[in-house]
A and B are shown apart, each in its own frame.
Chain A
Amino acid sequence: MRGFHPDHRSWRQVSRRGAIALLVLLSAHVMWRSQLPTPATAMGRLPSPPLLAIARVQALGDAIAWSKFTLLWLQAFDTQAGTSIALRDLDYGRVIGWLALCLRLDPSAQYPLLAASRLYAEIPDPARSRQMLNFVRTAFAADPARRWPWLAHAVYVARHRLHDQALALEYARALAAAGAPQIPHWARQLEIFVLEDLGELEAAKVLLGGLLASGQITDPHEQRLLSARLQSLEDAARAAQ
């Protein structure tokens, strides 16, 4: 068999001693490596994120690629070779720093907020979870049109995981108050459902009635659904009296 270079001789031309030495050394190396123990893992601490300007230099002009690569690295940080760090053991201040940095370098990306709201916020540690939800809330304010899904998810986490209705109401109100037309009606209506959970039936009724009267709901199915909801709220309010 000819080699890659046309001027090379066939492999058969290699001396028997040379071929044996090659095979022996290769086998010895494979056997030696297979006998070695698995490398011991040293649990690394998440480093602080660099300054935005430094990160831009490191990105060599391609901030988006740098941001995406960093997100993958951050996502994999809790699963280091041979060990696994619980998310709650990570330094959340630093995680938020990295996520914020990635978002600054690639403001159109959804990945950092998805990771924040669905990965890092859904841990059984209310303090850290709140920290992450607060990051989502802050990021939402900068670009509500693109980032509303993550605040809507934050409402869910606050309401059903943290059981903090006041926090859920704060986020739901932020969603309702944002002027971006891209935010769908169901997301704006979250405030009504949270108020209902809080027993604020009158306030929920007023909001729902106002929404229906505003003419913003044009879909007949949605109008019917919300009207039925308003009716049930009125019934509940009447029963409470």
Chain B
Amino acid sequence: MQWPQFNSLIALTAYEVRRTRWAWLVGGVVLAAYALAEFAASLAVTESAALRVTFYAASVRLGLVVVLSLLVTVNTVRDEDDRFLHLMLSRPLGRPWWVLAKFTGYALAGTLAALVAVLPLCLMLPPVPALAWGFALACELTLMSAAALTAALSLSHVALAFCAVSGFYLLSRAMHAMVLLTHDSLLAPLTSLQQAVAWSVQWLSYGLPDLARFTQSTWLIYTAPSPIDLRFVATETVLYGSLLLVVGMCDFQRRNL
């Protein structure tokens, strides 16, 4: 393991992120989400504060996931297209370490974005729920940067990789409800086909992170998250993030460059 090369690659990724005007993008997303939330709150007859917080949280989360996924896929595919990847791999640094260094750089960018996104919430709410939500957002963005990096390395095409990441995100967020839907007691008794579908959806859910439990609006307007909630978020991030990276590393090692 060559730490200087590894650290340099993280610094290089951070520099790349800075050059893509990440700060402007994040600032723009935060401002747009806040403007949308203010607009929604101005329409509300009651609970306008809750509405403002909920709209801000939901829109800033979606906005940051989209821009981070785009940043990671575009930069990774461009590295390969410009042969910059080949240059990097000619250095004494193994492919897995290259993947890990790139991921670390993007995860740091996601965490910084989560920090910026949580600032308006700290002005609207007590610090504990706001910071807990910010922590969950940082974890969600970390997972998404791992997913985007893996998709870009495997598919080597921006449109394909971004579609794959978007599908992964939507499915991971909706899977909890889809499991409930397939086990709906209204449909009981289930036919064999319905049982097979329910079984397949259940097994598919085991292979995806439960993102619906990450940044919950209820933490912001009703009850602050319990330590169990936050422990789940941290464990899922470490476990599933590692899984995604290993998938990316394995696929990357198979590639003839």
- A residues contacting B by CB (< 8 A) are 51, 53-54, 56-62, 64-65, 68-69, 72, 75-76, 108-111, 114-115, 118-119
Contact = CB atoms under 8 A, between A and B. Distances in A.
B175 to A, nearest CB: 8
Contacts of B178: 57
A75 B43 contact: yes
Contact of A62 (B43, B58, B186): B58
Contacts of B214: 61
Q: Is the interface of B mostly helix, strand, loop or mixed?
A: helix
27 contacts: A56-B180, A57-B177, A57-B178, A57-B181, A60-B170, A61-B173, A61-B174, A61-B177, A61-B214, A62-B58, A62-B173, A62-B215, A62-B217, A64-B221, A65-B54, A68-B47, A69-B55, A72-B43, A75-B43, A75-B45, A76-B43, A108-B218, A108-B222, A109-B47, A110-B46, A111-B44, A119-B45
Interface in B208-257: 211-218, 221-222
B170 A54 contact: no
B71 interface: no
Contacts of A58: 174
Nearest to B62: A60
The bracket for how many chain B residues form the interface is 20 to 34
Nearest to A72: B43
A51 B182 CA distance: 13
B33 to A, nearest CB: 12
B126 to A, nearest CB: 17
Interface string B159-186: 0000000000010011011101100101
- B44, B213, B214, B217 interface centre (most CB from chain A within 10 Å): B217
Given A61-B173, A61-B174, A68-B51, A114 B46 contact: yes
A54 B181 contact: yes
Contacts of B45: 75, 111, 114-115, 118-119
Given A61-B211, A75-B43, A114-B45, A56 B177 contact: yes
A46 B157 CA distance: 42
A233 B17 CA distance: 78
Contacts of B173: 60-62
Given A61-B212, A111-B47, A53 B54 contact: no
A65 B215 CA distance: 11
Contacts of B218: 64, 108
A49 B10 CA distance: 49
B31 interface: no
B55 A68 contact: yes
A217 to B, nearest CB: 30
B32 interface: no
Interface string B53-66: 01101100000000
A76 B47 CA distance: 16
Nearest to A115: B45
- A58, A62, A75, A76 interface centre (most CB from chain B within 10 Å): A62
A60 B174 contact: yes
Contact of B174 (A57, A68, A111, A114): A57
A60 B210 CA distance: 11
8 closest A-B pairs by beta carbon, nearest first, are A61-B212, A56-B177, A65-B58, A64-B217, A53-B181, A60-B173, A61-B173, A57-B177
Contacts of B51: 68, 72
B25 interface: no
B31 to A, nearest CB: 16
B50 interface: yes
Interface string B32-52: 000000001001111100110
Contacts of A76: 43
A69 to B, nearest CB: 7
B46 A111 contact: yes
